[in-house]
Structure 1
């Protein structure tokens, strides 16, 4: 019991009577603990109880310090020390970046990619200045590539006269020659004609035409 009293008073207890002198504390050695009772701080009961010696209450220093935000240390020469704990600032919770929605815009056409520039045409309308509009339906093809538009010969066959020859063919309109085009050539940027999937395609600009597409309808007009 004596060892408990000495250890409790020297290492863990703080007298509620702050005016006690060292000789008064020394005089407690060997005294009998008269009672122990729970101690609360703002409604929270500490794990270590307070004790009563000779009618004076003594509180557990470490439990009291930690409950009130202090670091408690003990030094044989300096005694018990309480130091206010440093509060570490809380880091803000990073806001997650929104997941980008998939773009509805199609990928840009790769230069020279004929397959991605192909479009099936069902109706072709030829509307030239001072002439009555003409219309043709069927399975036609339009290729838009490198900023130019090419149409298959079948697209033009209802309006133009096609004269086949090797290695060139000629297109005439109302009896007038409008152009000579290669029948077997590979595509290159700006070329007048090329063969794709077994079909000859002709550059509209060389026919002095421009094309406007609406759905599967192609309207050919003068390129003025």
Structure 2
């Protein structure tokens, strides 16, 4: 049993002091193990303990090598060899599923996409509801601007045709004049679409809130 232990010292231990020459290793044969101590690497204990011989600590080669990423081999002629383990080849990952195609964004100036039919319009000024009207009305919201047709506004404003302009008045006071027959352009005060004239609500100092098929016009 003693012979087995001393042979294990020579073949499977690394001195924690200075590097040992072959003659030094041979000189350990027959030495008495003075103590054994547990080993921790980065807080993880090894299965095999370190031993102390003549005041020098020796580590178990195989346990130490495998814990630090080395393959350990033994050859009767060459001795013990440690070789850094090769990192495993990366495994191919499945291709992620193609994302669903998002709905096409509204193109700038897309009047048709910004159109909404309205059946009820309410005009509110100074926080008070002035008038409510029902019928076939509409609003177009495009490029951050809101436009309503003259038919919608005629429920509350007096509309006077003065070619090439249309005048809108409220309580006998002219509020704005807009041109007729003009095409849409971003930020325009008015334009003609599908045979109707649409007026930018900012021309009237109004803004719109749409809830279902109800349109509420309030002062900005």
TM over 0.5: yes
Gaps of 5+ in 1: 1-88
1:174 to 160, 171, 176: 171
* Other-structure match for 2:154: 157
Matches within 5 A, 1:52-71: none
Residues in 2 aligned to 1:158 and 1:149: alpha-carbon distance in whole angstroms: 18
Matches within 5 A, 1:31-70: none
For the structure 1 residues 193 and 91, does the alpha-carbon distance in structure 2 shift closer, same or farther, using more than 3 Å as the test? closer
Residues in 2 aligned to 1:107 and 1:174: alpha-carbon distance in whole angstroms: 44
Deviations 1:98-125, CA, capped at 9 Å, x for gaps: 232344xx43221122111111111111
Over the aligned positions, Cα root-mean-square deviation in angstroms equals 2.0
Residue 221 of structure 1 and its aligned partner are, at CA, apart by 0.2
**Does structure 1 residue 107 correspond to structure 2 residue 108?**
no
* Other-structure match for 2:193: 196
Gaps of 5+ in 2: 1-87
* Other-structure match for 2:95: 96
Residue 177 of structure 1 and its aligned partner are, at CA, apart by 0.6
Deviations 1:122-162, CA, capped at 9 Å, x for gaps: 11111111544311111112111121110001111110000
Residue 218 of structure 1 and its aligned partner are, at CA, apart by 1.0
Per the normalisation by structure 2, the TM-score is 0.56
Secondary structure of the 1:133 match is strand
Residues in 1 aligned to 2:165 and 2:90: alpha-carbon distance in whole angstroms: 76
**Does structure 1 residue 214 correspond to structure 2 residue 186?**
no
* Other-structure match for 1:14: none
Question: Who wins on radius of gyration, i.e. which is larger?
Answer: 1
Is the contact between residue 122 and residue 129 of structure 2 (CA under 8 Å) also seen in structure 1?
no
* Other-structure match for 1:127: 124
Is the contact between residue 184 and residue 191 of structure 2 (CA under 8 Å) also seen in structure 1?
yes
**Does structure 1 residue 183 correspond to structure 2 residue 180?**
yes
Aligned residues, how many? 134
